[in-house]
């Protein structure tokens, strides 16, 4: 079982602010790092899958970076919008998906 | 393509009662996962199936939880008898291959919110 830590646990930002979260994980036995977005009453939705050290992925205003040597990934949201409000989960995979506790983001209009 | 289907969406039961959840994964997905997500915590894997075989059930409380995936398609998760601490969201997910393959993405259902009173 991997120990996956996400910080902060929750975050409130004003509309238009940029923000970022951290996912920390053991760097051994690493296959890939997944980011999921989970809105209330909906299914968790995959945002990114990253595998290589130094990987950077981008989807619209959201981007993510990966450092497999030191065991962390950052998720950035530029110009937050109310529709970005959700819980963001990271999951490094070894033999299974190991989910962190998530970062709950609330964007205040 | 259709997504992962789960039912029911919500369930309220008294402690010591039994409950069952159903999951229909995406067609063609060999791997099926059941997760338990307790409020304030991340999803915890209960059981992982590859086709109709169990890959990992190390975190499944086997004294009260059971799961099966007959014919390698649909799956049911049962709790008997339920305890107060079983109150959680139960998520089913499926993926085309197992997690040992790079870039495997899991697709989730909407979950079943269980409240045990």
Q: What count of CB pairs under 8 Å joins A to B?
A: 62
Cα distance from A107 to chain B (closest Cα, Å)? 19
In sequence order, what are the residues at sequence separation of 6 or more whose Cβ sits closer than 8 angstroms to the Cβ of residue A81? A15, A61, A107
Instruction: With beta carbons less than 8 A apart as the criterion, state whether A87 and A36 touch.
Output: no
Cα distance from B81 to chain A (closest Cα, Å)? 26
d(CA B100, CA B50): 12
pLDDT at B101 over 90: no
Q: What is the pLDDT along chain A (109 residues), one digit of tens a residue?
A: 568 899 999 999 999 999 999 999 988 777 789 999 999 889 999 999 998 899 999 999 999 999 999 999 999 999 999 999 999 999 988 667 788 889 999 999 9
Q: Does B111 touch chain A (CB under 8 A)?
A: yes
d(CA B73, CA A109): 44
Q: Best interface-test mutation with A: which of B4, B34, B42 has the largest number of A CBs within 10 A?
A: B42
In sequence order, what are the residues at sequence separation of 6 or more whose Cβ sits closer than 8 angstroms to the Cβ of residue B77? B20, B21, B23, B34, B46, B47, B65, B66, B67, B90, B92
Query: In this structure, how many other beta carbons lie within 10 angstroms of the beta carbon of residue B7?
Result: 14
Instruction: With beta carbons less than 8 A apart as the criterion, state whether A75 and A61 touch.
Output: no
d(CA A87, CA A39): 6
Give the pLDDT confidence of B61-89 residue by residue, as tens digits.
Answer: 999 999 999 888 999 999 999 999 999 99
């Amino acid at each position: 079982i991997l120990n996956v830590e996400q910080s902060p646990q929750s975050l409130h930002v004003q509309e238009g602010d940029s923000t970022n979260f951290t996912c920390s994980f053991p760097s051994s036995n690493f296959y890939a790092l997944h980011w999921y977005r989970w809105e209330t009453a909906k299914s968790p939705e995959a945002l990114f899958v990253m595998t290589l050290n130094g990987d950077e992925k981008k989807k619209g205003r959201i981007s993510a970076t990966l450092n497999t040597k030191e065991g962390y990934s950052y998720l950035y949201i530029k110009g937050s919008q109310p529709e970005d409000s959700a819980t963001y989960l990271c999951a490094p995979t070894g033999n299974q998906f190991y989910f962190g506790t998530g970062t709950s983001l609330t964007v205040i209009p | 393509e259709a997504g992962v289907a789960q039912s029911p969406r919500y369930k309220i039961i008294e402690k010591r009662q039994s409950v069952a959840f159903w999951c229909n994964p995406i067609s063609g997905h060999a791997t099926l996962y059941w997760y338990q997500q307790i409020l304030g915590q991340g999803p915890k894997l209960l059981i992982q199936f590859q086709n109709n075989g169990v890959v990992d059930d190390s975190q499944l409380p086997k004294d009260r939880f059971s799961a099966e995936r007959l014919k390698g398609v649909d799956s049911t998760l049962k709790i008997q008898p339920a305890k107060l601490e079983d109150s959680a969201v139960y998520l089913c997910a499926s993926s085309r291959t197992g997690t040992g393959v790079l870039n495997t993405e899991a697709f989730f259902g909407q979950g079943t919110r269980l409240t045990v009173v």
